[in-house]
Every structure is written in structure tokens, then in C-alpha cells.
Structure 1
Amino acid sequence: MISISETSTQRLRALAAATAAALLLAGCGTAEDDAPTDTDVSASPSAISLPVTPVTIELVDPGAEPRSSLTYEPAGEQSVVLTTSSTVSQQIDDQAAQDFSTPEITLPLTAQAPESDAGGEIRLRIGTPTSADQRLTEALAVAEGSEAGLTVTDTGAVTALSISPNADAEDAARAAIEQALNQAVYRSISFPSEDVGVGAVWTTEQQVVSGLTLNQTTTATLRERDGDRLTIDLRIDQTPESATLELPDDAGQLAIDTYTMSGSGTLEFDLGRSLPVSGEVTVAGEQQYSDPEGTTVLRQDISDTLRWSTP
């Protein structure tokens, strides 16, 4: 049984932060999740490559005639601004609610599309990051010039994220950048292989693993198309794969009593660009967890927003 002792409270608070990150699709994951994979030490001693779970795409409605393929062929360089914000309020039993929100951060990005022989990796260079939190802005200043990479397929599906922060970047800045880029990855759009027209609807299925395994379904609707320019409406729904959540450090389990997490938004794409041109997506929900004896209850209200804009 999980008591309401200070130790348990601290563990639950740590869990709250980790769980919130997982639900937001923005967390750094557990220590095991964060273990460097295929680390490129020649680029940076702290460079890591994080695999991204596979995406399954299914066309639901091909839309109106005329129909044609959505051929994702990014080329050249693109300047874009990524802004993310997350609000997390959590309460244990009748204690005062606590705020685990992440300050809004803005990342100016320069994306370089892959060359024909580059293995499908989009290279990202981070400009001067800023935050609504002045202390974080100061920490982020040292991260200017950090690099990242997105490995993509010809459908636009991201299969890996690599991050190479500047060696002098503080942990807070590294975590904020990783969190923002993870949000971008799991709010991205993959395109169907079939020909489609305006009104086309397709779904993508993907698991998100970061302390809690979530099954995510993204429903995309092609609202407008002007040549390579696309306006796509999104609906995102998440459900936990299991009815229980493992506490960190072998501290036991929590039952997932209730879970709602969904959202929507609109993104604009140019099939000749690496990243979305503009748009916004917000996902929000409520969760409640309890210990096996039902003596301790953890409640969370979560919302996160991602915005793309062209400078």
C-alpha cells in the first residue's frame, strides 16, 4: 500500500511530473528510455539518437476529385519557429494542488532538407531560444547553435530524433529543448500513399512510451490544397495501453481510475518544406490514479499547445 508519508508524497510528485510528460508526449522519458542509442560522439559528447515508435497509416476517405498523391519531397533550407507550452496541475488526496507546468519556450529553427544520399535526415539548427521564464531564457541562451536531426520516410513519418546540444548548455536548457522537439515529433503528420483530394481523411496509429504507454490515434482531414500547400485539420486521441502504472524505483503500482486526453488543431504544410509552415495543436485532459488500497489518489489536469510560425 502507498501511504501518504513524505517519502510516498515525494515519489508521487516525481511520478506526477514523469506521467505528465508522458501524457504531453513531450517528456524526456525514463532513464532507460533516455539511454543513448547509436550515439555520435564525434558530433558532441552529449549527442543522443532517440528512436521513435513506428506509425501505421490508413486511408479512411480519399476525398473529392481531382485526386493526386501527397508526395513529401523537402528541399533546400527552411526557417521556422516552434513554440510549445504545457500546463500541469496535480493534487494528491485533499492536499493543495501543485503546479508542474513547463514555461512556454520558443525555438527558432533552420531546417536543412536531406540530400539524395543523406539517408532521409533533416538537419536542424537552433537559433536563440527564449522562454516566458526569464531564468530559463538565460539558461537557453547558451544553447544557441545546438543541432538536432529528424530521420523521415517518404511519407513524412519521423522514425528517429537526434539531439546534439552545445557542450556548455545547462541541464534545464537541454531538457526544455528535448521536450519541445518531442512534442513536435508526436504532433507531426504522415501522409497516405494513395491519391487523395480535398476532404480526404486518414488516420495514423502510434504508441508513445515515456513512463506510460499510450496508444495514440491521429485523424487528419485535408481541408484545402493549393498545389503543394496543404491545410490539414487534426484530431488526436490517446488511451493508456494498461490499466495500471508502474511507479519509478520499484515503488509499486497505481491504478489508472480515469483517463481522458484528446485535442485538435490545424497545420499548414508545404510538401517541398521539411517542417510545418504554420498552425497550432492543443491536447488536454484529466487523469486520476490511486494506490491498490484506494487510500491515496493522484489527480492531474493537463494541457499542452504547440505552434508553428514562419518568421
Structure 2
Amino acid sequence: MPVARPLLCRSLAAVVVAVLALSGCNDAETPKAEPSGPTTAATAATPSAVAPAVVTLVDAGASPRRVVELDVEKGHTESSTLELTSTTAVDLMSSPAITVPMTIPFTTTVADVTDDEVAVDVRYDKATVTGGGLQKDVLDQARKTVGYLEGVTARVVLNRSGTVVSRDVELGDAAPDLVGRILEDVVSQGFALAVAFPTEEIGVGARWTVASDLSIGGVRASVTSTYELSELTDTGYSVTVRATQVTQPGDTLAGKVIDGRSTSTGTVRGQAGLLGPVEARTSTQGSSTVEVGGQQVKTTFDITLRASTR
């Protein structure tokens, strides 16, 4: 059974925030983050173990029940597209809300399959950002930033239930160190936010929780997700999800995070033989408060995501 990524929008939101920070797009006289030149530290592929998410079965659901596992074969390749629209409002000098539509395509290839794990290679293709009311200089910076995603590759190892075991991310040589760290976070989070199924047998109506810790732009966040299996057949599944993310205080490229919280809801439909969702639709609302130059700035955001795989 495939892996779904219904909450990837939160990690991709890091790109939007980073773009605005790099562009210095607000009207206040806040310092701009200046990318450094390419460094080997930013472009090296470094294997990293992942603290496994804690999956807890709450209700096994109705009979018939079975264990839901990845069912792909070595050499399998699939193409996925993420369509993200983020609307962000900043309570600074009555700044108008900014909407950033973004599309990110990527290809996933199954590199190896064992009794316990599945290793996949992911390659990101050219991402696009449309206007959405952005000023030209900010739009240009946004396009330049997401442009570094093209050619980025990642090796991700998952157990048969869909929980990430390890990941290696390799950035292109052109990515500045600053942008490189952001993109590495984004790429890794895409898999950290995958649906992790229980190892027990489940049926329609099954519910389980997943607790995980993330790193977004260097700041720690905890995510608690609740899944419910609404459909399970020999050819696929459908789940609904509700998740809450709480960001811990810490320093970021855009300033010092004071607090942050978001809630996501969505539906994911998967198909046997595919890793990514045939279709996933999610909506996220939240806010964060960041201290910049001694001033606290609150940002609210509304993010919608549609993901598809073929």
C-alpha cells in the first residue's frame, strides 16, 4: 500500500517564508538575509537517521482487517505533482495579504526492496511560482529560490509501514549555503510527514495517531496527527487526517520565533502499487510570531495543497 504525504504543505510553507525573508519584502527596515556562496557543506549528501514517528493504534476498525504495507517493486518509477497556494498576512504596517501559488513536480524511483524496508530515490524537477500579487522583485527572488529545487535528489528509506528510517539529501552545487539549508529541510520534511500506518491489522473505520518531531528552518516543531481509514480495498485506500503542529521558540533566518501553531485537515486517496497519493487535498490554517529587530511580528497563513501521482 502506498505512502501518502497529506501534510507536506506545512514544510513547503517554509520555502514561502524563506523567500519573503530573503527578499526583505516587508516595509519595515529589517535586515535582509544574504546568501553566501556555494559550499561543500551545503551540497554534500549526508546520511541522517530519523527519530521514528510514534504510531499508536486507537481503533482497529471493522472486519475484514489486514496489515497495510508498501507494495512496490524495485525499479518502479512514478511522477508526482504538488500544487500549493499559500496566503500569508503580516500584522506590520497594515501590509496586504500575499498569495503565492507554487507547483513542484518530482519523480520517485524504488531503488531497493527488502522484507523490512523500501529505499526510494527522489528527484525534483523545475518548480514554478506565479504572481499572486507579489511585487516583481519578490517574485523574481521567489522563482530564484525555488529554482534551486530543480535537480535536488534524496535517498529515503522507509519501513514497510511507511515510517521513515533514514534519508540522504543531495543539493545542487549552485545552491548557496543559506538556501541549501532551507531546501534540505523542505526535502527531508516531505518524507517525515508521510502517512505512517500501524503495524497491526486494520479495517474500515480504523483510527490511529502519529506523533513526530520536525525541524523547519532549524526550529523544532512537534506534530500530532490523527488518521481514520474510510476505505480499504485490494486496489487502494482512502484516509482522512487532522493534525496539529506546535513550533518551539528558536532562531530562524527570518528572526527569532516566539511561538507558532497550525491545524491541518485533509483527505488522501491511494492506489496499490504507488508510493504517492493518487490524490490528496489538504487545508492548513495557522499563525506564528517572530521577533525581528526587537519588534514582534505576527504572521497568519492559509495553505491549500493538492497532490497527485501517476
Q: TM-score when scaled to structure 1?
A: 0.69
**TM-fit CA distance, 1:239:** 2.9
Q: 1:238 to 1:177 in 2, by over 3 A?
A: closer
Q: Distance in 1 between matches of 2:117 and 2:162?
A: 13
Letter in 2 for 1:306: L
Counting only pairs closer than 5 Å after superposition, residues 164-179 of structure 1 correspond to structure 2 as: 164-168=170-174, 178=184
Alignment of 1:89 with 2:89, yes or no, is yes
Residue 80 of structure 2 corresponds to which residue in structure 1? 80
Q: 1:51 to 1:100 in 2, by over 3 A?
A: farther
Residue 238 of structure 1 corresponds to which residue in structure 2? 245
> Structure 2: 5+ residue runs without aligned partners?
1-8, 19-39, 132-138
Q: Give the alignment partner of residue 203 of structure 2, picking from 197, 205, 216.
A: 197
Q: 1:223 to 1:128 in 2, by over 3 A?
A: same
SS at match of 2:52: coil
Letter in 1 for 2:11: L
Counting only pairs closer than 5 Å after superposition, residues 207-218 of structure 1 correspond to structure 2 as: 207-210=213-216, 211-218=218-225
Residue 221 of structure 1 corresponds to which residue in structure 2? 228
**TM-fit CA distance, 1:261:** 1.2
RMSD of aligned Cα (Å): 3.9
Q: 1:101 to 1:247 in 2, by over 3 A?
A: farther
- Whether the 8 Å contact between 1:232 and 1:266 is mirrored in structure 2 is yes
Residue 277 of structure 2 corresponds to which residue in structure 1? 276
Counting only pairs closer than 5 Å after superposition, residues 51-70 of structure 1 correspond to structure 2 as: 51-70=49-68
Alignment of 1:184 with 2:190, yes or no, is yes
Residue 162 of structure 1 corresponds to which residue in structure 2? 168
- Whether the 8 Å contact between 1:147 and 1:164 is mirrored in structure 2 is yes
Q: TM-score when scaled to structure 2?
A: 0.69
- Whether the 8 Å contact between 1:80 and 1:108 is mirrored in structure 2 is yes
Q: When the two structures are aligned, how many residues end up with a matched partner?
A: 265
Percentage identity across paired residues of the two chains? 21
**TM-fit CA distance, 1:88:** 2.9
Q: Distance in 2 between matches of 1:52 and 1:100?
A: 34
SS at match of 2:91: strand
Q: Give the alignment partner of residue 25 of structure 1, picking from 11, 14, 21.
A: 11
Q: Give the alignment partner of residue 115 of structure 1, picking from 110, 113, 117.
A: 113
Letter in 1 for 2:298: R
Q: Distance in 1 between matches of 2:250 and 2:257?
A: 6
Residue 21 of structure 2 corresponds to which residue in structure 1? none
Q: 1:212 to 1:99 in 2, by over 3 A?
A: farther
Letter in 2 for 1:152: L
**TM-fit CA distance, 1:122:** 0.8
Q: Distance in 2 between matches of 1:145 and 1:118?
A: 29
- Whether the 8 Å contact between 2:243 and 2:265 is mirrored in structure 1 is yes
Q: Give the alignment partner of residue 125 of structure 2, picking from 124, 127, 136.
A: 127
> Structure 1: 5+ residue runs without aligned partners?
1-22, 31-40
Q: Distance in 2 between matches of 1:265 and 1:214?
A: 20
Q: Distance in 1 between matches of 2:258 and 2:151?
A: 43
- Whether the 8 Å contact between 1:150 and 1:160 is mirrored in structure 2 is yes
Letter in 2 for 1:105: T
- Whether the 8 Å contact between 2:286 and 2:302 is mirrored in structure 1 is yes
What is the CA deviation profile of residues 240-284 of structure 1, one whole-angstrom value per residue up to 9, with x for unaligned ones?
45xxx24469x9x7754xx54101111122353222222122221
Alignment of 1:302 with 2:301, yes or no, is yes
